[in-house]
A and B are shown apart, each in its own frame.
Chain A
Amino acid sequence: MKKIKPGDIAVIVFFILLAVVSALVLWNGDNNKKTERLIARISINGENFTSVDLNSINEAYYIYPTEGVSILVENGRIKFAESDCKDKICVLKGWLDSKGDCAICAPNMCIISIEGGDIDAIAG
């Protein structure tokens, strides 16, 4: 078994870099027409209730996904505004404004989670 020489490593590194750069170029080429969005998903009892594009909010508004729960949406962020649950953990969680953020109101089985997303069309 021969030892790997510096030249071999250089060739391997070159091809790995080539693969990574090409993959990035291909990936961007496929997605450059789409707009990156921050999407907040609201679900009730495990069912998708609605999704809100947090990047396109001009004026703050409320969503009432179920009785006793109100969710406030502003540009770039979302939170449980009010809940009739006992401990109010969901309300105390405050604003969610980054991909991966989430808040749960267990008594009302309501979940808000944020994910990045693309929009494919506009209805209306």
Chain B
Amino acid sequence: MRAKRLYCFFLCIVLFFCSSCNSKSRSNKIEKNFFAMDTAMSFKLYGSCSDDDLNKISDEIILTINSIDKEFSSYIENSQTYNINHRTQNICEISPEMYEILAKAQDIATLSCGAFDYTLGTLINLWDVKNKTVIPDQNLICDVLEHTGYKKTSVDYDCTEEKYYFYCSDSKLQIDLGAVIKGYAADKVYQICLDYNVYGLISIGGNITAIGNKENGKGWEIGIRDPMGTQSDYITTITLYGGMNTSTSGNYERFFYYEGVKYHHILNRLTGYPAKSKLTSVTVTGPSGVMCDMLSTACFVLGYEDSKKFLENYENKYTAVFINNFGDVMI
């Protein structure tokens, strides 16, 4: 009798461990850190599929990001952006994907009154904040500014030919999709992960996408980087639920000092100079990665007060966390 009871007890303990082990091994995990689009990227994904399958998904994600870069980077010869910037006529054919991106960019440029403007290619090249340490000549800035402006461009779909077109009235105008492509890539990667039924977090140059919630059903805790600190310091956190993205625009990554003044890479088309909005970073959260990417740039240029009004256009679908020059966090 006693032996029986002990046997039952022992069996219960064995079953308990079996069930614990099962729940732990239900999800395999893959974690990757890599460099693409001139920035650091990483993801950690979980799924009930095998390690081999997770490796295949990981390869597909990296391949997708690299092909998006190849297709939309201004600096890669024969990319769509390169072809637009080297057009010989004021009209050129574009892919449906480029049409989709430019149509959204046009909308946000219009709603933000040019605070976000994807037609600053010549101005961005003139400043070249990544490589230069002196500010451009004022006359050059004025000359270049004449060849910018989203109002000079438009996109269209010809349903008879089933072709997409980009029009521009200014032959010297150049587009730059630096504030768009990372978010666009995040949306594509998100779709891949959904197709393969895996969940986790993707970070594309600081733009973060949550694919599903954590295994316990809770959202992911995301720290917003402290602009005054190192890459691992964060000033506040937000909870990111499955299907949501964050994108941060800040002046602490790409900048140089000239005669004691800081010049960063987020340019304001109205002045031709880096935006002076008393902000050091803006993090926008919402359901579309590409929208978050563009909106964070727009909000950074607009500043806190104007951004609050601007974001009302999106009826709480997109929210922002602002950090000002004093390090104050504002919502």
Contact = CB atoms under 8 A, between A and B. Distances in A.
Interface in B190-245: 201, 203, 206-208, 214, 220-229, 231-239
Interface string B229-265: 1011111111100000011101000000000000000
B327 A59 contact: yes
Contacts of A12: 9
Contacts of A56: 223, 226, 229, 233-235
A110 B283 CA distance: 23
Contacts of A46: none
B1 interface: yes
B246 to A, nearest CB: 5
A69 interface: no
Contact of B220 (A26, A48, A120): A120
Given A15-B13, A22-B17, A51-B238, A119 B24 contact: no
Contact of B331 (A39, A50, A117): A50
B24 A30 contact: yes
B268 interface: no
A57 B237 CA distance: 12
A70 B248 CA distance: 24
Contact of B208 (A5, A49, A65, A121): A121
A64 to B, nearest CB: 6
B6 interface: yes
Given A121-B220, A123-B223, 12 more contacts: A15-B13, A19-B17, A22-B17, A50-B329, A51-B221, A51-B238, A52-B236, A56-B235, A64-B328, A123-B206, A124-B206, A124-B224
Contacts of A120: 201, 214, 220-222
Contact of A8 (B2, B248, B328): B2
Contact of B237 (A8, A22, A30, A119): A119
B112 interface: no
A101 B30 CA distance: 37
Contacts of B2: 2, 5, 8
Contacts of A22: 17
Interface of B: 1-2, 6, 9-10, 13, 16-17, 20, 24, 201, 203, 206-208, 214, 220-229, 231-239, 246-248, 250, 281, 283, 321, 326-331
A70 to B, nearest CB: 10
A26 to B, nearest CB: 6
Contact of A123 (B214, B228, B248, B331): B248
Contacts of A53: 223, 234-237
Given A15-B9, A23-B20, A123-B207, A63 B234 contact: no
A65 B331 contact: yes
Given A120-B201, A121-B222, A64 B330 contact: yes
Contacts of B234: 53, 56, 119, 122, 124
Contacts of B328: 61-64
A65 B214 CA distance: 28
Q: Which of A5, A8, A50, A123 has the most CB of B within 10 A?
A: A123
Contacts of A2: 1-2
29 contacts: A2-B1, A11-B6, A23-B20, A39-B237, A48-B239, A49-B331, A50-B238, A51-B236, A51-B237, A53-B234, A53-B235, A53-B236, A56-B226, A56-B233, A58-B226, A58-B229, A59-B327, A117-B237, A118-B221, A121-B201, A121-B203, A121-B208, A123-B203, A123-B207, A123-B248, A123-B283, A124-B225, A124-B234, A124-B283
